[in-house]
Amino acid sequence: MVERSAVNRLVVGSNPTWGVMHALITPDWLSRSALEVAPDLLGCRLVRRWPDQRQLTAVIVEVEAYTATDPACHAYRRQTPRNRVMFGPAGYSYVYLIYGIYHCFNVVTDRDQIPAAVLVRAVELVTIPDWLQGYRQEKSHRWGAGPGKLCQLMDIDRRLSNCPLQPASGLWLEPPDADGQQRLSKPNNQVQTTRIGLTQGTDLPWRWYLGDSPSVSRP
């Protein structure tokens, strides 16, 4: 496990122009409200690298925000061993299991001791490497169409929870490339709506997705 003190604190820039971009999205940029970070993560890239140097890069196309005052947030009532990472500084992963089967990947946001996170609900692969050919029988644009499916695709489980989103952990975030910025600039392509699959906070419009993406999850 990489110590928290070792996390790079450089600033990457700000959406929509992103200013002067660095290679990585850093904790300083994520140290904002989840309601600000979530839509800004659309078009960004989630990168997974394995010890054998295999690597997958996927574009984030759907997200949901969760804050400390949100009854649907895991940290709403109190701090527990499960949600402790949400109370720490931004820039860490929070991975949990649902239905005893599927993992969900979240990006911890906001300031230290203010629990908040962004659930990454769906991604699109940038390219399909040879070693991934035939991964699933369904069309490849649906391989990451849902929080459980994207975690299966990118081999994300609880072993990666509470890890800094840095290359040393094998999981990190990058700003949008030129194509991603072009998609973000399309009129009405960033859609805001209510979240999916909840019993509390169902009226909060804290879900965002790219309207032109065939990989957005289905309610």
- Structure confidence at residue 168 (pLDDT): 95
Could you give the number of structural domains in the chain?
1
Q: 20-66: per-residue pLDDT in tens?
A: 344 799 999 999 999 999 999 999 999 999 999 999 999 999 999 99
Q: Assign residue 68 the CATH number of its domain.
A: 3.10.300.10
Whether 218 is covered by a domain: the verdict is no
pLDDT band at 110, cuts 50/70/90?
A: very high
Whether 217 is covered by a domain: the verdict is no
Whether 216 is covered by a domain: the verdict is no
Distance CA 163, CA 3 (A): 9
Mean pLDDT estimate for the chain: 89
Q: 126-177: per-residue pLDDT in tens?
A: 999 999 999 999 999 999 999 999 999 999 999 999 999 999 999 999 999 9
pLDDT band at 18, cuts 50/70/90?
A: very low
Distance CA 6, CA 14 (A): 23
Whether 76 is covered by a domain: the verdict is yes
Distance CA 110, CA 28 (A): 9
- pLDDT of 100 > 60? The answer is yes
Q: Which residues contact 198 (CB under 8 A, 6 or more apart)?
A: 72
Q: Which domain holds residue 129?
A: 4-210
Percent share of the chain, pLDDT over 70 = 90
